[in-house]
Amino acid sequence: MFIKFYSALAILFVLSSCTSIKNNAVGTWKLIAEINSENPYANRSSLKETKIVSDGLLTLNKDSTFTSNLSLCNGYNEGGIYASKGKYTFKKNRNPDKLFRIECPGIYPIHYFIIKEKKLELYFPSFGSGYRIKIFER
């Protein structure tokens, strides 16, 4: 009886912690820094961010959709301004790094982000040539 109770309690804890991780991501994030490194073997902790002045925004909605004025989905709206819309996903199982994936319509998910120390780190594809990371704050 105790085993069933503790198993149910553990399952509820895991589900609520995943929900809380996703809820921590919801909101509008402003681009404040970048990391660009040509070293594909560098540790993330050794990379230093460069503060930037930007109007870049990423908005994550409760319904798992996102919008951004950054070129994440290679889309344009009128006037040549970047516009990206799509979904973001968070896998609950087998996701020790707590990665979120960004999915654009018709494009394989190549961007991912993590929430770390009250910042959102958006990783751009580098294909083995280093790191391209955009850093956001609320």
pLDDT tens series, the chain, 138 aa: 545 444 443 443 444 444 566 778 999 999 999 999 988 888 888 899 999 999 999 999 999 999 999 888 866 555 556 678 899 998 877 777 888 999 988 877 678 999 988 999 999 877 767 889 999 999
CB 111 within 8 A of CB 123: yes
The angle formed by the CA atoms of residues 23, 114 and 41, to the nearest 5 degrees, is 175
Q: What is the pTM of this model?
A: 0.76
- Domains of the chain, start order: 2-137 (2.40.128)
DSSP 76: B
Instruction: Give CA separation, 109 vs 7, 44, 103, 104, 132, in Å.
Output: 34, 21, 5, 7, 16
